Amino acid sequence: FQNFQYFKSINFRVRKMKVKRTQVGIIGAGPAGLTLARLLFESGISTVILEAKDREYVENRVRAGVLEQGSVELLGRAKSDARLQSNAQIHKGIEISLNGDRCRVNLEKFSGGKHVTVYGQTEITIDLIEVHTKLGGEIIFEASNVMPRDFETKTPVIQYESNGDLTELQCDFIAGCDGFHGICRSSIPPSKLKFFERLYPYSWLGILAEAPPPSKELIYASHERGFALYSMRPPTRSRLYLQCENNTTLDNWPDEVIWNELRCRLGVKDANLIQEGEIIEKGVTPMRSFVTEPMQYGNLFLAGDAAHIVPPTGAKGLNLALSDIFYLSNAFTSFYDTGSTKELKSYSKTALSRIWKTERFSWWMTSMLHKASETDNFENRIRLAELDYLLSSEAALSSLAENYTGLPY
Ligand code: APR
Ligand code: PHB
C-alpha cells in the first residue's frame, strides 16, 4: 500500500501516459494468470497479461508436475492440452517407503477410479503461452513498475512501464495472479486482510537430473535420516528431493553427497534403485503454509500463490492455483453473460473452502513424512504411528487417495 503511494507521487507527473483498455487486467503470467486469460479468451472476454519477467525466464521455471483430473480438464477447456494429452503419464498409484520398506498405494482403487497425471509445470506454461499468443491473446513480458490502482472503485487501472512507455491499462476487474512475492496482495490495505502462516523447520533440496526414471511411480520416502522424494520429468529426467536444514547452502551438497543420501533414503531394500546422471539443476526450497483472507478487495481478485502457499509435499500448489481459476473464470463469465455479480462476490468464500482442505492435506502429508527435530521424540513417534495407521487402514488410504487425486470443485 505504501509502495503505491510512493509510486503515485514520484512517477505520475514526469511522463506522458499512454492509455489502453481491456475487460480483465491480469498481473502475472504463471499458470494461474495464463489459464485465466485462456479461459476468458475462449468466452470472448478480453484480457491483457502483464508479466515482470521475460518469456524465456517464465518458460524455464522448474516446478512440481502432478496434476489432478480437474486441472487436466481445465487445461482442456483452455485449449492448451494437446501436448499434455500425447506426452503425459497417467499414474494410478504412488509408493510410500518407510526406512526402505516400500508399499504401493493404489490411488485408483482407493479413490473410486481416479488417477493423477504427471506432466511438468514448465511444459504447461510453455503450452499456455504458445496457444494464447497464437490465437491473438496479449501478454506483455518484461513489464516493469506494474501497479494496480483504484481497485476499490468501479474503474480500476493497472499502471506499468514497457519499452520505455508508461501506460495506464483501464479495466473492469484486476486479477492478481502474481505469485507469493507479487505486488497485488501488498497493494491491499493490510487492515483489510488476515494472514495465516506456518513455517516448517526444514527445507527441500531439489535436483533435476539427466537420469532415467528408476520407478514408474512417485516414491515418497520417510527415513530416519529425513524425507526423500523420487519424481520424474518423463521420458529422460528424474526430479529428486531431500529434506535438508533450513539454513543449508548448496556448498553443503556436492553431487556425490546428494547421490549417497538419495541412495540411502530411497533405497536400503533396493540398493540399486537410484541411477545417477548429470545434475542439471539444484535448488533449496523453504516449506511454508500460508493463506490470505479474503481473496478479494473491491475489484481486485487474488488467485494462486498470490493468495496462498502450500508446502510441496503432495504437489498441490499448481492444482490449487488452477481450482481458484476455475471459480474465478466462471464468476467473470457469469458476470459478462448475465450482469450478475453473485459469483464474483462469493469467489473468495468458495475458493477458500477448497483451499483450506488442501492446506490441511499438504500440512498433514508434510508433517507425517518429514523427520521432526531430534529433540521432539514425541512428534517423531506420533508420525510413525500415523504412517503405520495409514498403511494398515483402508479408511486412511481412501482419505489419502481422495485428497491426493484431488477434492471435487
Ligand atoms: N508484476 C508483474 N508480474 C509479476 C510481479 C509484478 N510485480 N510479481 C510477480 N510477477 C509474476 C512472476 O514473475 C510470475 O511469472 O507473476 C507470476 C506468478 O506466477 P507463479 O509464481 O507461478 O504463481 P501462480 O501462477 O499462482 O502459480 C502457482 O506456481 O509456485 C508455483 O507451487 C506453485 O505450482 C504453483 C504455481
Ligand atoms: C515434482 O515432480 O516436482 C513433485 C512431485 C510430487 C510432489 C512434489 C513435487 O509431492
Residue whose CB lies within 8 A of the most ligand 2 atoms, among 63, 241, 243, for a mutation test: 241
82-116 pLDDT, tens digit per residue, is 999 999 999 999 999 999 889 999 999 999 999 99
Q: Which ligand is nearest to the CA of 62?
A: 2
Q: Say whether 189 is catalytic.
A: no
Q: Say whether 223 is catalytic.
A: no
Q: Which ligand is nearest to the CA of 315?
A: 2
Question: Does any ligand 2 atom lie closer than 6 A to the CB of residue 65?
Answer: yes
Residue of the CA atom closest to atom 6 of ligand 2:
315
pLDDT at 62: 78
8 A C-beta contact, residue 385 and residue 379: no
Mean pLDDT, consecutive 10-residue stretches, the chain (409 aa), reads 52 75 98 98 98 96 90 98 95 95 96 96 96 98 98 97 96 98 97 97 96 88 96 87 96 95 81 81 96 98 98 97 98 98 98 98 98 92 96 97 97
Residue of the CA atom closest to atom 7 of ligand 2:
315
CA of 64 to the centre of ligand 1 (A): 14
140-155 pLDDT, tens digit per residue, is 999 999 999 999 999 9
Question: Does any ligand 2 atom lie closer than 6 A to the CB of residue 231?
Answer: yes
Q: Say whether 336 is catalytic.
A: no
Q: Say whether 91 is catalytic.
A: yes
Question: Does any ligand 2 atom lie closer than 6 A to the CB of residue 318?
Answer: no
Nearest ligand 1 atom to alpha carbon 58:
15
Question: Does any ligand 2 atom lie closer than 6 A to the CB of residue 213?
Answer: no
Q: Say whether 316 is catalytic.
A: yes
378-387 pLDDT, tens digit per residue, is 999 999 999 9
Residue of the CA atom closest to atom 1 of ligand 2:
64
CA of 310 to the centre of ligand 2 (A): 12
Q: Which ligand is nearest to the CA of 176?
A: 1
- In the structure grid, which three cell numbers stand for residue 43, read together? 468466452
pLDDT at 16: 83
Per-residue buried b or exposed e for 215-240, using 16+ beta carbons within 10 Å of the residue's own CB:
bebbbbbbbeebbbbbbbbbeebbbb
Given 31, 156, 311, 312, the catalytic residue: 312
Percent of the chain with pLDDT over 90: 87
Question: Does any ligand 2 atom lie closer than 6 A to the CB of residue 366?
Answer: no
Question: Does any ligand 2 atom lie closer than 6 A to the CB of residue 206?
Answer: no
119-131 pLDDT, tens digit per residue, is 999 999 999 999 9
